[in-house]
Structure 1
Amino acid sequence: MDFVIRNASLPDGRRNIDIAIDGGTIAAVAERLPLQGAREFDAEGDLVTPPFVDAHFHMDATLSVGLPRVNASGTLLEGISLWGELKPSLTQDALIERAMQYCDWAVARGLLAIRSHVDICDDRLLAVEALLEVKRRVAPYLDLQLVAFPQDGILRSPGAFANLKRAIGMGVDVVGGIPHFERTMQEGAASVKLLCKYAAEQGLRVDMHCDESDDPLSRHIETLAYETQRLGLQGRVAGSHLTSMHSMDNYYVSKLLPLIAEAGVAAIANPLINITLQGRHDSYPKRRGMTRVPELMAAGVDVAFGHDCVMDPWYSLGSADMLEVAHMGLHVAQMTGQEAMHRCFLAVTETPANILGLTGYGIAPGCHADLVLLDAGSTVEAIRLRAARRLVMRRGAVVSEAPRASATLNLPGRPGQTGFRLGR
């Protein structure tokens, strides 16, 4: 074997597991494998997981914080306005440089698959060309899936639909939309129908910014679920944000949840951004902002968490750490039971991998040898610590390494060093 990891813990709870890797593929997974590796690594009981997956991001805007000015109010609408101010001065070189730096951060965090929305409302399609070049460059070590996103509205922005079709023709993967940003509810519903029809004709996936609002009457997810079922798009459609669901009455939601589940529509929440941008018109009591994650999960809907923004016009924080996203998600959703916290870990690994349609993902013979070794013994501990990534592997090659998290102490009568794991 090329590489054997010994004594690993796995996300499903198995312990003392060996993982044999050959030719960039997982060859065997079992206790005490009688195989030798050209290189061997003792995990010492630490958690080995498939890579993190970000189901919702905006790479064309990332690391642009402060350009052309900072978001003084910190609101969604000022962020959209700021992005409109920034677009005319964008250059391909700057877009590529910032995106490449972010991808470096992502690899170091064990984040090896990202679905990024790219604005197509600029007739130059500058950002589309830039991110297609980034996609080409990072392909050996990171899966980058692009969504044609009409930031200013597919019907509201002149030429947006033509631009979207051009972007798809250039190699963008997924059809996007933003129905709640159209001028009327009727136009929003019409945009959903138009975009889903186009996706069905082209055999494409759909991922719409949907109902990113505190308005309980913003109900475009209902139209999205209906069109998904009508057009046979089950399993290929995601609604991102869905924050209006936190304001809807329970009776309506009791109808809506089964509709989403029956249509096979996935939900993508963005905990860091939803909790920051929503509820801005509330004094107290103040709404949390995030969609109904545990209720959607209980209804059988695939729910993933996305990072959404890192150091851009909408959010000046972030560092490509999907464990930070899961950490915020479980707090906002009050998912602090053991199984619930584990499901939050799956919301940044297995579930988004399924939503993106990734093949060869997982820890089983025949899967790609894309693995992350964490300084943690379980999924819950990994979230608690935002654990250091001791090893990150892509197709069996180590692409990033980091030491365990520890501190040197100078305290009377106490050990000279401490980590942050109970009993270690």
Structure 2
Amino acid sequence: MAFDIILRGARLDRGDGPLLDIGIRDGRIAALEPALQADGPEERLDGRLVVPGFVETHIHLDKSCLLGRCQCHEGTLDEAIAAVAEAKRNFTEEDVYARAERTLAKSILQGTMRMRTHCEVDPRIGLTSLKALTRLRQDYAWAIDVQICVFPQEGLLDDPGCEDVMVAALESGGDVVGGAPYMDKDSHGQIARIFELAKRYEIDIDFHLDFGLDPTHLDVEEVCRLTDQYGWGGRVAVGHVTKFSSVSPDKFAEIAARLARSGVAVTVLPSTDLFLTGRDHDRDVPRGVTPAHKFLGSGVTCSLSTNNVLNPFTPFGDCSLIRMANLYANIAQVGTPAGMADCLDMVTSQSARLLNLFDYGVAPGNPADLVVLDCDGPSNAVAEIAQPLFGLKAGERTFTRPAPTMHRPR
């Protein structure tokens, strides 16, 4: 039996199971067993962890890498929205492509192989960013699969002409429809309109939702209600949801049960949420990061993601989802091996479930989209921010990051 490549001695599980060999043929995993008897080029992994390619569920490629163009001093959400709205008026297709390409390349080098990027469309930017991102995903299809979620960052109902642009974007190749209900005076009105668009185009929904720290008004119940009404369970995600971090334990449990019952997924964005929230506190500043791992036991699909990179919303970021999982574990005080393995799941298998990726995972028959990490298990991957050493997309090597070497004196 011959394979295009064989990865020897891979660690795949959370425990002390045997090391496995992965045989890859025609871009797919063709065999997975100990001491595989086969011929073909080999790569010895010596017990290093192999994970399916990381899944970025919520990022903004179109407005990444804006530092230097936007002057911000307060670090608030309102200031960031205003600064980017002003900068956006000067975006060109080539400018968006260049900045987004820089961020996409970083993501690929960090082992990300599936991505949902949000893309702003409105009467001011039109379809400029969508055209750039559509071209970018075609150019990099050899390394990463990209979904584009079009959404109105500056409001939908209160922004005349925005809905026409949203419809044009969905007609022009938008894969997912998104919203930011807190940007309209009638948040429930925006939510209803987004569901109507999703039904018309038979696409999934991804909301920016319940941002802030005051939980007296939550839009999540309306999202769940309409998810039930439209039969859209498993096709709706809500991101940020920082207000959930401020509710009582009983209310948190109630929200968890409601999300699970309706099939609404949750994305937490640790870096941005930590940076933007609690700015009005001069001591004991709240983290503002919802403990998503506590939703998992209720059956809620949860992911951790990057959101913004090098812009006023988040003035840092290297696109490492392993680093994001580690940051989240620190914030949420997750320290057990099982807990840290759950954090890894929230940038791999849980994220894949959120994006409805049915061909994902290290299993025979699936695409050979694999990342080799410089560690020996899932919990250590998160605890040590283990570096990706190389990755294969459909069985072809897409990046290599050699392990560091210490040069001792002779």
TM tier, smaller: over 0.9
In the TM superposition, what is the alpha-carbon distance from 1:340 to its structure 2 partner?
A: 0.9
User: Contact 1:306/1:348 (CA < 8 Å) preserved in 2?
Assistant: yes
**Which of 13-22 and 303-312 deviates more?**
13-22
Which residue of 2 is the match for residue 236 of structure 1? Answer: 235
The ranges of structure 1 where at least 4 consecutive aligned residues each deviate by more than 4 angstroms after the TM superposition are none
1:95 and 2:88 are equivalent in the alignment: no
SS in 1 for 2:354: helix
Q: Do 2:304 and 2:347's aligned partners in 1 also have CA atoms closer than 8 Å?
A: yes
Measure the CA separation in 1 of the matches of 2:98 and 2:269: 25
Q: Judging changes above 3 Å, is the alpha-carbon distance between structure 1 residues 259 and 337 closer, same or farther for their aligned structure 2 residues?
A: same
The 3 A distance-change label for structure 1 pair 70 and 407 is: farther
TM-score calculated relative to the size of structure 1: 0.93
Structure 1 pair 380–252 and aligned structure 2 pair: CA distance change class (3 A): closer
Tell whether the 8 Å contact from 1:15 to 1:45 is kept in structure 2 after alignment: no
- Matches of 2:283 and 2:13, distance apart in 1: 39
Measured against aligned partners, the alpha-carbon deviations of 1:317-372 in whole angstroms (never above 9, x if no partner) come to 11110011000111111121111110000000111111112242111110001100
Correspondence 1:277 to 2:276: yes
TM-superposed CA distance for 1:89, in Å, is 0.9
1:27 counterpart residue number: 30
Deviation of the 1:123 alpha carbon: 5.0
Question: What's 2:39 paired with?
Answer: 36
8 Å CA contact 2:293–2:342 kept in 1: the answer is no
Give the secondary structure class of the aligned counterpart of 2:371: strand
Distance 1:70 1:324, change over 3 A: farther
Matched, 1:81 2:82: yes
| CA shift for structure 1 position 102 | 1.6
Q: Are 1:17 and 2:20 matched, yes or no?
A: yes
Matches within 5 A, 1:212-231: 212-231=211-230
1:63 aligns to 2:62 (yes or no): no
Give the equivalent residue in structure 2 for 1:256.
Answer: 255
Aligned identity (percent) is 29
In 1, are the aligned partners of 2:27 and 2:367 still within 8 Å (CA)? Answer: yes
In 2, distance between residues paired with 1:78 and 1:87?
Answer: 14
Name the counterpart of 1:303: 302
One-letter code aligned to 2:73: A
Q: What SS does the aligned partner of 1:284 have?
A: coil
Q: Cα–Cα, structure 1 residues 282 and 40, in superposed 2: closer, same or farther, change >3 Å?
A: same
Deviates more, 1:269-278 or 1:381-390: 381-390
Q: What per-residue deviation string (whole Å, max 9, x for no partner) do you get for residues 40-79 of structure 1?
A: 0000110111011111100001112121x33222222211
CA contact (8 A) 1:279 1:289 kept: yes
351-360 vs 167-176, which moves further: 351-360
Unaligned runs of 5+ in 1: 411-415, 417-424
The secondary structure found in structure 2 opposite 1:391 is: strand
Q: Which runs of 5+ in 2 are unaligned?
A: none
Residues 140 and 359 of structure 1: CA distance in aligned 2, closer, same or farther (over 3 Å): farther
Give the TM-score normalised by the residue count of structure 2. 0.96
Q: CA deviation at 1:390?
A: 1.4
Q: Is the 8 A contact 2:209 2:241 kept in 1?
A: yes
SS of equivalent to 2:61: coil
Q: Using a 3 Å threshold, how does the CA distance of structure 1 residues 126 and 253 change in structure 2: closer, same or farther? A: same
Secondary structure of the structure 1 residue equivalent to 2:267: strand
Are 2:208 and 2:240, in contact at CA under 8 Å, matched by a contact in 1?
A: yes
Aligned to 1:106: 107
CA contact (8 A) 1:180 1:218 kept: no
Q: Give CA-to-partner distance per residue, 1:190-224, whole Å, 9 cap, x none.
A: 11112112212321100000011112123111111
CA contact (8 A) 1:128 1:167 kept: yes
- C-alpha contact (below 8 Å) 2:269/2:307 kept by paired residues: yes
Structure 2 partner of 1:313: 312
1:114 CA drift (Å): 1.3
CA contact (8 A) 2:89 2:125 kept: no
Distance 1:408 1:51, change over 3 A: same
